[in-house]
Amino acid sequence: MIVEVLAVGTELLLGQIVNTNAATIGARLAEAGFDHYHQAVVGDNVERIAEAVRLAIGRADALIITGGIGPTQDDVTREAICAAAGAEMDFSEEQADTLRRRWAERGREMPESNLRQAQYPEGAELIANTKGTAPGLRMCIEGAWVFAVPGVPAEMLPMLDNDIVPFLRRESGSGEAVVVSRLIRTWGESESLIAEILDDLYETSVNPTVAFLASSGEIKVRLTAKAATEEEALGLIAPVEAEVRRRLGTQVFGIDEDTIERVVLELVEAHGWKLATAESATAGMVAARLTSVPGASKVFRGSIVAYQEDVKTGVLGVPRAIIDTEGVVSEATACAMAEGVAALLGADVAIATTGSAGPDPQEQPVGSMVVAVHTPEGTRARSLQVPGDRERVRAYTTTAALHLARLALAGAWWGSADHTHWDRREPSGR
């Protein structure tokens, strides 16, 4: 069964409210095993909503509409469904009595405008709202099921879970079919190169399917399988996942909900080590990512934000000669910062950042950033050229710093053949 989602509300188009309902409904549809190819957002306009409904029911078996069924003048979803179905508006005296009773129970007088919530397209069935006053509705239009539910997530979700999904399962005869996705998280190569490496899998694998998602410097490979049970779906995914991991090697750092900060903390803990950071251009962003993980205090010692040169030399012990000869934005300085904070805070592992984040250049062109990682095996730095504005440069450098730390902790130090580096001590795990 193919199911679409239509979110109604001009506030969504203006960006005043984030459309979280679409993500929630999409996840529920996937869990139920339904095919879901289109989502749309339309403003509070009868003609445009009706047009979107007609388009959806022309290519899908069901449509779930969220929003526009409240009591105010701009809540026009019911009118739009009438227009799409060629139906008249009906009125439920039973629902009107329910509304009056609920207002009375609160000790308040109900505005007459609330009676709009007792209106519904002729031929539709009302869906009880256990969390609010606006009932949902279910209606068959030209062979497709159309559902309208409130835009308020707390009111929408019970209708979705308790009425809509079970109803669609019965209608489709899908039984317990499920759709399961596995996200393989990678870092270190571009989305286009990852796609080239996995091109034959993308072209030939039908169940599971293969897709690529890029975000914040990381590339996710999504494998999605459909089967009667979750166990069977995971069984379909397993051999493809194994092949993806084989081809991408150390670029893979986790799956599903794994985050790089959690992975780094777990690696540090597994070694029985402690971790600290020394940050200049990123100004504590690496430390903030690490300490966002509950339990980080088991291994994280602390952070020094050494923004000024005298803090680098006076607090972290960076030799003045290194800054004078190599510069602040240099691999030598980054390595000295990492070793300095490790000694100062009693850490075995340290991550350091320095660079020219912009908007004005500092010693080097904007986007010239340096990350250093220190472990008991050695200290190594890597220079980066990060595109974008100041915040993007800082955010991508933070992500890169965490991933370079992961590689060092896993004994997979980045190689000198591919990247320039400056070693204070040669890492043993090359």
* Four-way CATH pick for 178-255: 3.40.50.2300, 3.40.50.720, 3.40.50.300, 3.30.70.2860: 3.30.70.2860
Buried b (16+ CB within 10 A) or exposed e, 39-60: bbbbbbbbeebbebbebbbeeb
Structure confidence by residue, pLDDT tens digits, 183-226: 999 999 989 999 999 999 999 999 999 999 887 789 999 999 98
Structure confidence by residue, pLDDT tens digits, 302-331: 999 999 999 999 999 999 999 999 999 999
Q: Spell out where 9-156 has E strands.
A: 39-42, 62-66, 89-91, 119-121, 125-127, 136-141, 144-149
Tokens of 281: 């251009």
What is the CATH number assigned to the segment(s) 3-172? 3.40.980.10
Instruction: Yes or no: say if 225 and 237 are a contact pair by the CB < 8 Å rule.
Output: yes
Give the model's pLDDT for residue 111. Answer: 87
Chain position carrying tokens 């039908």: 206
Cα separation of 417 and 200, whole Å? 29
Residue type, 370: V
For the chain, helix, strand, coil in percent to 5 are 45, 25, 35
CB-count exposure of residue 199 (10 Å: 0-12, 13-18, 19+) = exposed
Chain position carrying tokens 């890169």: 400
Low-confidence ranges of the chain (pLDDT < 50): 416-430
Among residues 319, 308, 318, the alpha carbon closest in space to that of 341 is found at 318
Residue 3 is classified by DSSP as: E
The sign of the dihedral angle between the CA atoms of 158, 161, 166, 172 is positive
Give the model's pLDDT for residue 90. Answer: 95
Dmax of the chain from CA atoms? 86
Helix axes 20-32, 165-172, angle to 10 degrees: 40
Q: What are the structural domain ranges in the chain?
A: 3-172, 178-255, 260-409
What is the CATH number assigned to the segment(s) 260-409? 3.90.950.20
Q: Is the pTM for the entire model greater than 0.85?
A: no
Give the model's pLDDT for residue 108. Answer: 86
Instruction: Yes or no: say if 69 and 134 are a contact pair by the CB < 8 Å rule.
Output: yes
Pairing of strands 136-141, 378-385: unpaired
